Every structure is written in structure tokens, then in C-alpha cells.
Structure 1
Amino acid sequence: MTTRHGINWDKAQALQVAERNAFIGRMPRSRELSSQAAGHLLFGVPLHWMNDWSTPFSLYVAAAQGARFTDADGHDYVDFCLGDTGAMFGHSPRPVADAIARQAQRGYTAMLPSEDGVWVAQELARRFGLPYWQFALSASDANRFAIRWARAITHRSQVLIFNGCYHGTVDDVFVDLVDGQPQTRDSLLGQVYDITQHTRSVEFNDLTALEAALQDGKVACLLAEPAMTNIGMVLPQPGFWQAAQELCKRYGTLLLIDETHTISSGPGGYTRAHGLQPDLLVVGKPVAGGVPCAVYGFSAETARRAEEAKRNAPPGHSGI
């Protein structure tokens, strides 16, 4: 049977079956590990989305170095994924591996600062241009914390995002535009409230819609990638960010730039390469050379307002 696109469907299905069987035949150890994992790992994998790959079972990694990895059955691969850029500088780069080994002899966590943290913050300020920094374990957490700071600083509840954005697992961003209207994403598990009560969404590069969303003065922050990365690559039109920054300032909305996917634009990310001036900046994935970590920075004025908000808050856990 040939489809209207000229594809022989029967041959395509036969090819799929043949490739599936070939995969199974070449991966006995991965198949065995998948079977064992099914007894104690929910969905048979450490993170359920690892099942999203279109293979009969998970491919198990035995070792990774540089731009290559070896699976549990001894097959070698050139890795074009690199942990979704978490290993952008290669798997186990020697300087990072050596630093981890040294630190392992000095302790992992003490809930107190160390000298290394001082130098890292100084270097972040030099590279990205924002003077004050905080740390988190993932960009999702860094985005969550930055949003909370923005709300505390501005005393506003609304967050504005661009349709089709990606900012990790932040609850506030799972809003899609359907026929021009915001709608909580229907694929979410365990969602118990309407996200659209506190999140607005407009199309990227649409300055008219952006101003309309900001002009009532209720938006705490515009959370945005400097270039859209999760719906293909959508670049900002010439002059878009200059105008968007002016609109944020006009209506008292903080600009929160998430550089997690765009850090490869240059040593200071897209922000430094293209002269953006965010109030808050988030970087995750490769920022620690493959170690789970994220950072978020504050402009001097935003840091001053954050300190004021913390001083004026009642004692107790901040939620950050």
C-alpha cells in the first residue's frame, strides 16, 4: 500500500520490524539490565522520560569519555546528544574529573560556604556581567527560585512566558496558546490548579502582544530564552530584545533570561554576545562540566531589592 506521500506503508512497517529485531539481537546485556530494572525502577528506568526513546528497551551506558560512549554490550558511539548538553564540553573532561576527585577527599556538603564558592561567583560576574549570584542543583530549581524572588521583589503574582518555551519542570511555564488563548498543558500529571491564573503566554517576536500582556502592571517577570530552542530554533527578529527590554522597564516587569539552552552562544552566553541586560539570569546543564548544578545571577538593583524583600519577610523558611 502506497500512501499519498509516496511511501510504501507495508515496506516501512517491515523495515521497522527488522530494525527492531536487529536492535534486540545486538543488545542482550541492555535487554537483561532492562528486565532486572523493571523489578525495582518505576517504568524500568531511573527517570520515567528515559522511555521516550523509540527503542524496544533502554540502551544502557557502560562508560563515556569525551564525545563518545560505550554501551553495556560493548558498542561504541559518537554522542551528538551529550546529555542534552549537560556534557557539552565532553563526558568526564579531565579538569572536572580531577577537581571532583580532589574534592571527594575534602567532603561533599557541609551547609556552609567554601573558598571555592567565592572564586566561582567572582568568575560568573566577570563572564556574565551580573554582580551577584546564587546556586541550585538544576536549572529548573534556579528558575523556580528566580521566579519567587521576582514575585517577592515586585509584589506581583503574574509570570509571562513565550508560547512553546522550555524552562525545565517549572510549574508556572506549562501553559500553551490554543487558538490564541492560554491553556494549562493537558499532558501534566497530578495538576491540581489552573496555571493560567498566574501565567500569561504570548508568541515570541510579537511586541504588540508583549506590551498588551505587560501594560496592566501585574507581571512580576518575563521568563524567556533569548532564542527559542524547544520548537526548533526560533531566533529573535532584529531589534526585538531591545524593544522587549524597554517594555519590561516601562511596566516595571523584571526580565529573567534562561540561558540553559543558549549558553553555547559564547563565553557569556547569548546575553553577553548580544548585549542583553537582564535583571535575573539562569544557567544550568553544562555550567558545572556535567555535574548537576545551576546558577542564577542578579543585577545590582535586583540584588538590592531582593535583600530588602528578605529583610522585610517574617522569620522562617523562604521557600527558596
Structure 2
Amino acid sequence: MIDRDRLAALLERERATYAGLHPISARHYAEATHLFGRVPMTWMNKNAAGFPLYVDRARGNRVWDVDGHEYVDFALGDTGAMAGHSPQPTLDAVAHRMSVLGGLTTMLPTPDAEWVGAELTRRFGLSRWSFALTATDANRWAIRLVRALTGRPKILVNAYCYHGSVDESLIVVGPDGEGMMRPGNVGAPVDVTETSRVAEFNDLDGLERQLAHGDVAAVLMEPALTNIGIVLPEDGYLAGVREITRRHGTLLIIDETHTFSAGPGGATALWGLEPDVLVIGKAIGGGVPCGAYGLSEELAASAEGRTDLDLVDMGGVGGTLAGNPVSVAAMRATLEHVLTDDAFAHMVATASAFTAGVEAAIDRHGLPWSVSQLGARTEYRFASPAPRNGTESAAAADEDLEDYLHVFLVNRGILLTPFHNMALMAPTTTLDDVERHHEVFEEALTDLLG
């Protein structure tokens, strides 16, 4: 239904408009000759318009750039700012720790840590917790533990999963149904098939076939795929994963870093999951770098009983800055006062309104697209029905169409997550903000379809 020539012309028009609106951002980007890729992290080059916005300030679900433009922010730091930018309780706790109590890094515990551990247990059910500075690190340390405790070398993941930059996760299902290196993998230390196995999301037969080899320590998975577009679990799938892993003596690691959007206890609480290990990061610190992994009572006791494992010094399960007083204070304040049960109720309701409005626009224009929602997170896809696994989801991508929608929206004050068409609701997101997106989205579709 899309006239590709019209799409190309509209994308060129919107990029020219963007360049005209953002001369200061353009100058900063051009002058950044001492940064690899001209940005602090090379993924910041993932943008629809040729150069990134440079941020001046942010608060709640609003961002202002250096050119003076204000945006309704549905990206929210790709979940890192799901609590909103600079939530006041988190700011107050961090400021108190930094300026009143002091001790940004001490290598000593604070009472806040036990509070955070207890709260994570209340929300997710795992009984013992350890902290990191990112969910990537938490995943890495959890992987080391499960390998040590099971004596098995491999980790199984889903194709096109997202677990940060964990080496073991950069594997996809190849044409022959077996694992192969994910395209674009940078500097893999070994062939990923030496460390990992892979099965498609929603494919219990594929999972069973891979676990039958008997060499998989743990399945590491998101309860819904998120970074390749939201792919929701089919009825019975997650229960089937748990039954199959237990039957094969394989542990189950649930990564809730993005799926925390499902509710106060993430998808684990919402869907009654029973992981052996749970990993989370980003949102629980209110924007302050943090991560955590939780262990079941049985697994923690097994690890603590292993005198041959160096869990104290250089055993590979920690970092000097992990669990520092500032990040722990931020986690406590965010969980206690910001990402509360009431806040999630509002966020999910707002996301439902977003989903309904996008579905209505798609239906009005007769587009073969779909919308998927996971609690406070919603995303529109260029496929209908919605993809059921990561490979199908990757195949449904349309870079030019996605770029057109993104740059059209940003030129009119709306930010989506740059990596896909994901919109996330913060506690401060309003129905008026949602309606503003719908107005601009409708305008973009009308221009595109004529």
C-alpha cells in the first residue's frame, strides 16, 4: 500500500525540515571529532534524521534540546527513565547521599541495600539479591553462576532477544534451524555456537530439541521479546518453557529489564512465572545506573555451599562500583516512591489509550499493521498479524518507513524509542500527551497515503 517514491520524497522533506530546526545540534555533532562515531556511545547514531538531538534538560516525560524545542518523550531512555526524567524522590535521595552523607563509593554496604533486596523479593519472589551497575553485567554474572552450579557450558537464548551486550546472546536461528552468529556481531571472542544455543520465541518444540543435548546450563529469556519489537508469548508458552527446563535439569533466567513495564512485579508477577534467577536494571534506579540479579533460595544456598568458587575476590561476579551507596539510594527511592502500584495502574491505563488510538488510525487507513502492548509499553508494527517470534519480527522491519515516522514525529515534538516504534508511559504521561501523538501520527499517515 505504500508508494515507495512518495515515501522517499517525504523522508527527504522531513530530514530537511529537521536540519533546519536543529542547527545547534548539527554544529555540536559536526564538532565532536574526539568521540568515536562523534557521540558518547555509537548507538546514539541510531536516529532517523542524520544527526542526533543534543539534550539541554529533561523532566518528567519532557525533554528540551539545545535548540530550544520541547518534546513529549515516549522513549524515556529506552526504559532507563521509565520513572520519568529526574523524579523528585530519587533526586532527593541521591542528593542527600552525595551532599549530606557523602561516600559515593566506599566498598561498604548501606542499610538501603537490604531494603531494596526485600522490596525486589516482594515484587518478583526471588529471595537473594546482588547488585550491578547495568543489567548487562547482572546477566554476565548470573551466567557465570549458573555455569558453575550446573557444570554445563552453554546458555540458550531466543533469536533476536535483548540482554545487553552479553556475548552469549548474540545468536540467531539460521536457515537450517540451528544457531548462527547474529549479523553485525562485533569482535566475538569465540564462535557464539561454542557458548550458546538458540530457539525461536514461542517455539516449544525447538526449545525441547536444543535442550535435549544436555549441555545447557540455563535458558536466558525475556518473557516477551522487546528490542526487536514487542513479541508477546502465546497461551501456554511460558508454562511450557518452565516445564521443559525443569525436565532437562536446566535453570531458567528471566530478564525483566524491559518487561518490567508489565507491572510492579514485571511479567514475572503478572503471569506467575517461577524463574531460578531474575535480572533487572535500568528503570529501578530512576535513571541512575544500576542493575540487580535475584536467586532462588535453593540456588543461593547451592552457591554459598561451594567452597571451590571464589565469590569474594576475583571470581568474576562483581565490580568495584557495584552496589555503591548512590545507586542503592536511587533504587530505594524509585521503588518506594515513584514506580509504585498506583503509578503502574496509571501508566498501563495510559498505554492502553495509546494502543487504542493507534489501532483506530491503522483501521481507518486500512493498513496491514498491528499494535502490541506490554503493560506501560506499546508498539506499532508493519505486519498483521503481529510477528510471533524474533525472526519474523526482524523480517517485518521497514527502515525507510520507520525513519519517516520517527523524523515526522520528532519535527512535531514527539520522541519514540529510536531503535523501533516503541512508546513507553511514565507516571507523568497524560492522556493529552497520548492524544498529541495520535494527532501527529494521523497527519503522518495522511501525508504518506495521500
Q: TM-score, normalised by structure 1?
A: 0.93
Which one has a larger percent helix, Structure 1 or Structure 2? 2
**Do structure 1's residue 144 and structure 2's residue 140 form an aligned pair?**
yes
In structure 1, stretches of 5+ residues that fail to align are none
Match of 1:117 in 2: 113
Label 1:230 to 1:56 Cα distance change in 2 as closer, same or farther (>3 A). closer
Residue 198 (structure 1) shift: 1.8
- The range that moved more, 115-124 or 11-20, is 11-20
**Do structure 1's residue 187 and structure 2's residue 184 form an aligned pair?**
yes
Identity %: 48
Match of 2:122 in 1: 126
Match of 1:32 in 2: 27
Deviations 1:97-152 (A, max 9, x none): 11111111222110111111121111111221111000011111111111111001
SS in structure 1 at match of 2:253: strand
Separation in 1 of the partners of 2:178 and 2:12?
A: 41
Amino acid at match of 1:289: G
Amino acid at match of 1:153: L
Q: 1:99 aligns with which of 93, 111, 123?
A: 93
- The range that moved more, 79-88 or 114-123, is 114-123
Residue 191 (structure 1) shift: 2.3
Amino acid at match of 1:273: L
**Do structure 1's residue 158 and structure 2's residue 154 form an aligned pair?**
yes
In structure 2, stretches of 5+ residues that fail to align are 318-450
Separation in 1 of the partners of 2:236 and 2:132?
A: 32
SS in structure 2 at match of 1:84: helix
SS in structure 2 at match of 1:83: helix
Label 1:29 to 1:128 Cα distance change in 2 as closer, same or farther (>3 A). same
Give the aligned CA root-mean-square deviation in angstroms. Answer: 1.6
Amino acid at match of 1:90: G
Separation in 2 of the partners of 1:82 and 1:205?
A: 28
Q: How many residues get paired?
A: 313
Label 1:249 to 1:60 Cα distance change in 2 as closer, same or farther (>3 A). same
Amino acid at match of 1:15: L
Q: 2:289 aligns with which of 292, 300, 311?
A: 292
**Do structure 1's residue 259 and structure 2's residue 253 form an aligned pair?**
no
Separation in 2 of the partners of 1:280 and 1:154?
A: 13
Amino acid at match of 1:296: Y
SS in structure 2 at match of 1:140: helix
Match of 1:244 in 2: 241
**Do structure 1's residue 167 and structure 2's residue 156 form an aligned pair?**
no
Match of 2:13 in 1: 18
Residue 252 (structure 1) shift: 1.1
Report matched runs for 1:189-204 at 5 Å. 189-204=186-201
Q: TM-score, normalised by structure 2?
A: 0.67
Deviations 1:71-106 (A, max 9, x none): 001000000100001111110011011111111122
Match of 1:84 in 2: 78
Label 1:43 to 1:210 Cα distance change in 2 as closer, same or farther (>3 A). same
Of structures 1 and 2, the one with the larger relative CO (CA 8 A, separation 6+) is 2
Q: 1:58 aligns with which of 52, 58, 69?
A: 52
Label 1:204 to 1:114 Cα distance change in 2 as closer, same or farther (>3 A). same
- The range that moved more, 253-262 or 49-58, is 49-58
Label 1:30 to 1:109 Cα distance change in 2 as closer, same or farther (>3 A). same
Residue 8 (structure 1) shift: 6.1
Q: 2:276 aligns with which of 256, 276, 279?
A: 279
Amino acid at match of 1:49: W
